[in-house]
Every structure is written in C-alpha cells, then in structure tokens.
Amino acid sequence: MKRSLFVIILCAAVTLGISIGLRQSLGLFLTPISLDLGLGREVFALGVGLMNLVWGLLAPFAGAVADRYGVGRVAAAGGLAYAGGLLVMTLSGDGSQLILGGLLIGVGLSGTGFTVVLGAVGRAAPPERRSQALGLTSVGGSIGQFAALPFSHVLIEELGWAVSLVALAATALLMVALAAGLARSKLPQGEAANLGLAESLREARAHRGFWLLTAGFFVCGFHLAFVAVHLPAYLADAGMPSWLAAAALTLVGICNIVGTIACGWLGGRYPKKSVLSLLYLARAAIFLLFLLTPLSETSVLIFAATMGLLWLGTVPLTSGVVAAIFGPAYMSMLFGIVFLSHQVGGFLGAWMAGWLYDRFASYDAMWWLSVALGLASAALHWPIDERPLARLRAAHA
C-alpha cells in the first residue's frame, strides 16, 4: 500500500478503536451507576439507546459534510463532543445527566464512527483492495474493544465509575489529534464533478437493494446493543462472578479481530450480500443455542467467542456493498443512511431490553426476538443485487 493509504488506514483504525472501544465498555457502568444513584436500569439504558439513535440520525449529515469538505474537521469535532459526553455522565443528578451524556457521545460517534471513517478509507483505497482496506480498518474497532473493556473494568474496580469516566474522556481526546491523518482523504473530484449529492440520493432511493441492505442492518444494531449493554447485568442476575462479563465482552473483541479480517477477505472473493446472509443466519443459531443451553461460565465464553467472530464483520461487508453499487464519492453519506437503520436497531436493542426487564424481571423475550430478527435479516440480504450501477460499469469500461 502507498504510504498515504497506510497512514489513512492507521489513523482510521485507531480512531475507530477509541470510539467503538469506549462505547462498547459503557455496559460495564450500567450496574454500578444504577445502584449508586438509586435508578432503575431503564434510565441508563435509555441514555445509551439515545446515544445510538443520535449517532444514527446525524451520521448521514456528518457523512455528507465529510464527503464534501473532508474528514479531518468532522472527526476532530466528534472527538471533542465524545469527551464532553463522558464528562457529563460523571455529574450527580436524577438521571438526566446520563441522558445528556448519551446524546453528546452520540454526536461524537457520528463524527468518529464507521460512516465517516470508513468513507475516508473507501475513497483512498483502489477498488480491487477496498474490501480488504475496509476490513483492516474495522479491525481497529475490535482491538479497541479488546483494550477498552479490561481497561475500564480495572478502573471501575480500583477508582470507581466516576473517575473511570474522566479517564475515558481523556482517552477520547486522542481522536482530535488523529483527525489530522484522516484529512489526507479527499473526494474523488472526477466522479464528484459528474454526480451531485442530490443525484446520488435519487440513485439510492430508486435501488431496491439499498433498502434491503438498510432494513437488514437494523438487526445488526439491535443484536450488538442488546448484548453489549445488557449481558453484564444478565450474568450478574444469574449469580455469575463479576469478572465473567468483562472477560466475555473482551473475548468478543479478540475474536472480532479474526472475524472482521475474515469477512473483509471473504467480501473480496464472494458476493458480499451472500456472506451477510450467512452471517446473520449464524447469529440466529448462536442466540438460539445460548438460550437453550444451561447457563455456565463455559457457555458464556463460547457464546462470546462465536458472537465475536460475527460481531463487526457486517461493517466492511455492508459498507463494501454501498461502495460497490454506488461508488466511493458519496460513500460516507449513503452508508450513513444505511447506518441510521443500524442505530435505530441499537436504540431499541438497548432501551427495549431495559424496559422489558424493569417490568418482567427477565431478558427471555429479548433473546427470542434476537433469534427471529437474525433469520429475517438473512432473508433480506439474499436477493440484493450488488452489481455496480450502469454509470459505474460504463466508466470502468
């Protein structure tokens, strides 16, 4: 790879590692914050759910700004908002600080998350290496999860949840410096000159596969938010040791490194939509087996490992389908629209689980719903036509 592409991938991967890793570790704070403040789980879950929703709602707009004016400033602003949100969550109150903190973190994620960062990589990488480059960048999120979860666990155990959030806020500020490396990515001027933003939106709106991809990605967000936010509490309710939740989520991050690289490799050799269908089918099977198998430390770790292999592998595949069909020029914006569906799913996965638990003292309905949604997403992805649009085929010819 050219040095400039290497720098972009490196800065993008580390940015994702911080933004996704810190977000993933927030589930460890649910129990101590809820107990310390005397709040039900729904308040914290609502804050995290709104974080996901705001992230998704702003992603298309952040992507459009990044596509037109560059990623650097968008990522730097996102890093500042992210750190501010973590600091707000340390304030005492009736739970409103958790809501406001979640909203600010959502703003930060819209500028430092997948849509903007992968758009920078997608434009910089040549078509034949794009799937691999997106996969390598997405691995950064996995490594960040692997590092952030034990880091956050140790901080909480030794310093308490409030000081831990301050330390995470300081870590989030590193993304502001990394934004300089992402500023190297530029919009392909030749393609941009022949295609405006409005025309790109009209193309996407008229493409059946775009809406199937958008609907299917909802399920990914639902699965990830439910497991990341509520698995620690689910295990604590079952009397499992406190280390198991951190170990399970860390194992998800470790296995996700392998899974994301593998999905990027498979996406470069086989139809991405077919790989996505099989991935969601496998998730449904894993949820079902975990639900039907007696709960033990071994079953939890097996569940975490297998889910990790399928965790963020959807991202290079889904973003790769967007780039393959529509080209890279407005990839951040178009993937941002698809990602909005993911975040609506993330909001429901986080909030609905807390709402159901506070009323029925059980997560059983969420596990069964996760199985059903996995099957539905597998069916939605299978008929997608991921061939490039006619204008791209003509340009390539």
Do the domain assignments include residue 191?
Answer: no
Do the domain assignments include residue 2?
Answer: no
Confidence band of 221 (pLDDT split at 50, 70, 90): very high
Segment 367-392 mean pLDDT: 92
Q: Would you give the end-to-end CA distance of the chain in angstroms?
A: 25
Give this prediction's pTM.
0.77
Do the domain assignments include residue 1?
Answer: no
Tens-digit pLDDT profile for residues 165-199: 999 999 999 999 999 888 765 555 555 445 677 78
Do the domain assignments include residue 272?
Answer: yes
pLDDT winner (highest mean) among 36-40, 45-49, 95-99? 95-99
Residue whose tokens read 């975490």: 304
* Total domains, the chain: 1
pLDDT of residue 21: 87
Tens-digit pLDDT profile for residues 330-349: 888 898 899 889 988 988 89
Which tokens go with 59? 């992603």
Q: How far is CA 177 from CA 19, 34, 41, 115, in A?
A: 13, 34, 35, 19
Q: Which residue has the higher pLDDT, 43 or 17?
A: 17
- Planar angle of CA 273, 279, 280, nearest 5 degrees: 95
SS (H, E, C) 107-142: HHHHHHCHHHHHHHHHHHCCHHHHHHHHHHHHHHHH
Segment 214-241 mean pLDDT: 91
pLDDT of residue 396: 60
Kindly tell me if the per-residue pLDDT of 220 is higher than 90.
yes
Lowest mean pLDDT among 16-25, 38-47, 365-374: 38-47
Q: How far is CA 324 from CA 131, 206, 382, in A?
A: 9, 16, 16
- Report the percent of the chain where pLDDT is more than 70: 94
- Cα(56)–Cα(45) distance, rounded to whole angstroms? 17
Considering only CA atoms, which of 210, 234, 185, 174 is closest in space to residue 71?
185
Q: Summarize the chain as % helix, strand, coil (round to 5).
A: 85, 0, 15
pLDDT of residue 272: 93
Q: Which residue has the higher pLDDT, 15 or 331?
A: 15
Do the domain assignments include residue 390?
Answer: yes
Q: What is the domain range of residue 116?
A: 7-186+196-396
Do the domain assignments include residue 31?
Answer: yes
Segment 384-389 mean pLDDT: 89
Classified as helix, coil or strand, 90 is: coil
pLDDT of residue 2: 52
Considering only CA atoms, which of 98, 87, 77, 75 is closest in space to residue 351?
98
pLDDT, mean over the chain: 86
Do the domain assignments include residue 245?
Answer: yes
| CATH number reported for the structural domain that contains residue 330 in this entry | 1.20.1250.20
Do the domain assignments include residue 322?
Answer: yes
pLDDT of residue 192: 47
Kindly tell me if the per-residue pLDDT of 3 is higher than 70.
no
